[in-house]
Amino acid sequence: QGYYVGSGFMSPVLSNQGVTADTMICDSVDVELHEVGHPNSMIASARGALQRDGSLSVAFMANPDYYYLAIKHRNTIQTWTSEPIWFGNSSVLDLTTDPSQVFAYNVAPLDSMYYGLYSGEINADDNIDLIDLMTVENDISMFAYGYLPTDINGDGNVDLLDSPLIESNVSNFIYAVYPN
């Protein structure tokens, strides 16, 4: 949500934050496979490079089967697929254009065509709240910059441009929702 710049593209966050010179990569994302039955135990996890066009490729060491997919990022709420998905030798999934593929439709509308993960979840408690906002405001007052989860818009600086989005998500009581 915070990294979205329009027309299906995201900011080159890792380049902006001084991590890499590659301007085609947005950021790293963790993807997990969870079993279908309660309590949805994690079966496998992989980290991949999220490209600026929203594509991500990861490989899992797991038996072909149906799994819930969970997506986690350093400053967004975790987001799960609405239904278990078949993962075999090669599986392709697009969660950016159809919010019904996401559990409880818990994705942020980015524009008329695209959806993304809600930004502003700094302390990984599954809730974008005043604690997250306070952390961002603290980094703003310290003129923080670099590879930081408090840089909500991914421009390399924690500044007043990061506040509006997280304030909106706090006001709208945005939190993670996933199967029990």
3-state helix, strand, coil in the chain (%, to 5): 20, 30, 55
pLDDT digit string, tens, across residues 111-155: 999 999 999 999 999 999 999 999 999 999 999 999 999 999 999
Please give the pLDDT value at position 39.
80
Which parts of 16-171 are beta strand (E)? Answer: 25-34, 42-51, 65-72, 79-80, 85-87, 108-109, 115-116
pLDDT digit string, tens, across residues 20-56: 999 999 999 999 999 998 888 999 999 999 999 999 9
Question: What does the pLDDT average to over 147-166?
Answer: 97
Question: What does the pLDDT average to over 5-27?
Answer: 96
Please give the pLDDT value at position 94.
85
The pLDDT of residue 87 is above 90 = no
How confident is residue 95, by pLDDT bands cut at 50, 70 and 90?
confident
Residue-level length of the chain:
180
* Cα→Cα distances 63→44, 55, 128, 155, Å: 10, 23, 34, 39
Q: Find the helix or strand (DSSP H, E) in which 132 lies.
A: helix 130-141
Q: Find the helix or strand (DSSP H, E) in which 134 lies.
A: helix 130-141
Structure pTM? 0.94
* 83 token code pair: 């239904």
Mean pLDDT, the chain, as a whole number? 94
* 112 token code pair: 């008329």
Please give the pLDDT value at position 50.
96
State the burial class of residue 9 (Cβ atoms within 10 Å of its Cβ: 0-12, 13-18, 19+): middle
CB 48 within 8 A of CB 93: no
Tokens 């990984």 sit at which residue?
124
Please give the pLDDT value at position 92.
77
Please give the pLDDT value at position 144.
98
Please give the pLDDT value at position 91.
72
Question: What does the pLDDT average to over 48-67?
Answer: 92
Please give the pLDDT value at position 142.
98
